[in-house]
């Protein structure tokens, strides 16, 4: 996915004195600003909560449970979609020798790194309203196209592996106490099965496709980040390329890249990758491209892939249309096959 930042500073690093610095990485001596994966995951998570997925609420225990009164949320992926999709690590207390439970995120998102080197602008600010001595402060902002790969492991949504005899450190597992919640999950209609060689509890596919669709809808409404008042900007991806794959590879590494001249969208790379991975993916490739965003590149891309667009192997539309369309297809149950590993 690609997010286009126009004179913004959506993610800032450690400030120096009175100047707020944007986050950047140094590649071959040049600065590439970035937005950390953690930040974007937070935006998506908040978007999901705003769209009606209950975020992990707080439950209170007290005298009635014969325990000291305290409020507590469980890292509970069975009940809460955000714990399920974004994972967590819940460290057990050393003194109790409690088990650490973790869930590895089925939604993996890379760092949104600028495709081309950018020199951030340092803005000099003065606060002088009604004070004798003005207060000086500065901040950096930049204009850049930030791109990141992402991978959404649909079979793992709503699938929770159980501990076996040596089931420590598996990608996610349930402790004894959480295994008790499996009873609750079973009440939701979850069944136990073997998932990728491990015993697992699975929520019914209706709930699983609902959660996956929620995430796509949150990306379609993406907003968030720092400096909103000063650098208001839209954060919905300007360009997004999605292709359903049967295995855990991501072939789109070099489809959205950049060079000294800025952004490159490589239709030829996409065609070659799709040919190389023939049989491992399910058409169509969904491309969301916002109208007006780099129309020159879009014309080149559509010319390069004219054949595929004509026969429907590649679909190009507005990112929101593409994401929301995919989400509603999921909710309708047409894509339920995606929620299980493909037969070898």
Partner 1 sequence: MSYAEPLPAWRLTFYAPVASFRDPFFPGLARGLPVPPPSTVRGLLAAATGAPYESLAFGMAAWSEGEGVDAETYHPIDAGGANPAVSGRVRPGKGGMTLRTRPFLTGVHLTVWLPEEAGDRVARAFRRPQWGLRLGRSQDLVHLEERLEVVLRPVTEAVVGSALAPATGHDVPYAVTHRMAASVSADRMTTRWTDYLWCDRPAGRHPVRGALEDGSYQGKGQALWLLEP
Residues 51-110 that bind partner 1 (CB under 8 A): 55-58, 61, 70-73, 75, 82-83, 86-93, 96, 98, 100, 104-105, 108-110
C-beta closer to partner 1: residue 158 or 320: 158
Contacts to partner 1 from residues 283-302, by CB under 8 A: none
* Angle, in degrees to the nearest 10, between helices 267-276 and 295-304: 40
C-beta closer to partner 1: residue 50 or 189: 50
Contacts to partner 1 from residues 312-331, by CB under 8 A: none
**CA–CA distances in Å: residue 263 to residues 51, 74, 117, 232, 291:** 32, 43, 11, 22, 16
Contacts to partner 1 from residues 206-265, by CB under 8 A: 246-254
Q: Cβ 202 to partner 1, closest distance in Å? A: 17
Contacts to partner 1 from residues 35-54, by CB under 8 A: 36-38, 41-42, 45-46, 49
CB contact set of 10 (below 8 Å; sequence gap of 6+): 35, 39, 224, 225, 226, 227, 231, 233, 235
C-beta closer to partner 1: residue 147 or 327: 147
User: In 3-state terms, what secondary structure has residue 130?
Assistant: coil
Contact characters 154-173, partner 1, x per CB under 8 A: ------------x-xxxx--
By C-alpha distance, which of 79, 227, 207, 71 is closest to 140?
227
C-beta closer to partner 1: residue 45 or 320: 45
Q: How many residues bind partner 1 (CB under 8 A)?
A: 73
Q: What is the number of residues in the chain?
A: 344
C-beta closer to partner 1: residue 104 or 234: 104
Measure the CA–CA gap between 222 and 290, rounded to whole angstroms.
14
Residue written as token pair 């968030």: 224
Torsion of CA 274, 277, 282, 284, to 10 degrees: 0
Measure the CA–CA gap between 300 and 205, rounded to whole angstroms.
40
From 148, 200, 222, 263, residue interacting with partner 1 (rule: CB under 8 A): 148
C-beta closer to partner 1: residue 38 or 321: 38
């Amino acid at each position: 996915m690609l997010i286009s930042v126009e004179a913004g500073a959506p993610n800032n690093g450690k400030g120096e004195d009175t100047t707020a610095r944007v986050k950047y990485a140094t590649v071959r001596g040049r600065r590439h600003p970035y937005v950390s994966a953690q930040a974007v995951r937070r935006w998506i998570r908040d978007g999901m909560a705003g769209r009606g997925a209950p975020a992990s609420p707080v439950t209170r225990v007290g005298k009635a449970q014969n325990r000291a009164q305290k409020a507590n949320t469980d890292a509970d992926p069975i009940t809460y979609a955000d714990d399920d999709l974004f994972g967590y690590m819940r460290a057990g207390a050393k003194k109790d020798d409690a088990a650490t439970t973790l869930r590895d995120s089925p939604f993996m998102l890379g760092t949104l790194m600028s495709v081309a080197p950018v020199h951030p602008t340092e803005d000099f600010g003065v606060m002088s309203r009604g004070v004798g001595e003005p207060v000086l402060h500065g901040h950096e902002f930049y204009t850049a196209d930030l791109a990141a790969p992402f991978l959404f492991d649909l079979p793992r949504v709503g699938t929770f592996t159980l501990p076996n005899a040596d089931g420590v450190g598996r990608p996610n597992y349930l402790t004894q106490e959480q295994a008790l919640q499996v009873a609750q999950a079973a009440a939701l209609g979850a069944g136990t099965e073997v998932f990728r060689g491990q015993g697992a509890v699975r929520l019914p596919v209706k709930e699983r496709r609902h959660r996956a669709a929620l995430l796509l809808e949150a990306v379609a409404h993406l907003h968030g980040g720092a400096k909103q008042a000063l650098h208001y900007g839209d954060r919905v991806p300007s360009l997004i390329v999605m292709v359903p794959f049967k295995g855990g590879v991501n072939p789109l590494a070099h489809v959205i890249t950049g060079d000294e001249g800025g952004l490159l969208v490589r239709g030829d790379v996409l065609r070659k990758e799709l040919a190389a991975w023939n049989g491992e993916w399910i058409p169509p490739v969904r491309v969301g491209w916002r109208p007006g965003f780099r129309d020159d590149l879009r014309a080149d891309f559509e010319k390069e892939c004219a054949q595929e667009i004509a026969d429907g192997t590649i679909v190009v539309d507005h990112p929101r249309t593409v994401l929301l369309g995919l989400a509603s297809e999921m909710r309708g149950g047409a894509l339920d096959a995606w929620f299980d590993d493909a037969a070898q």
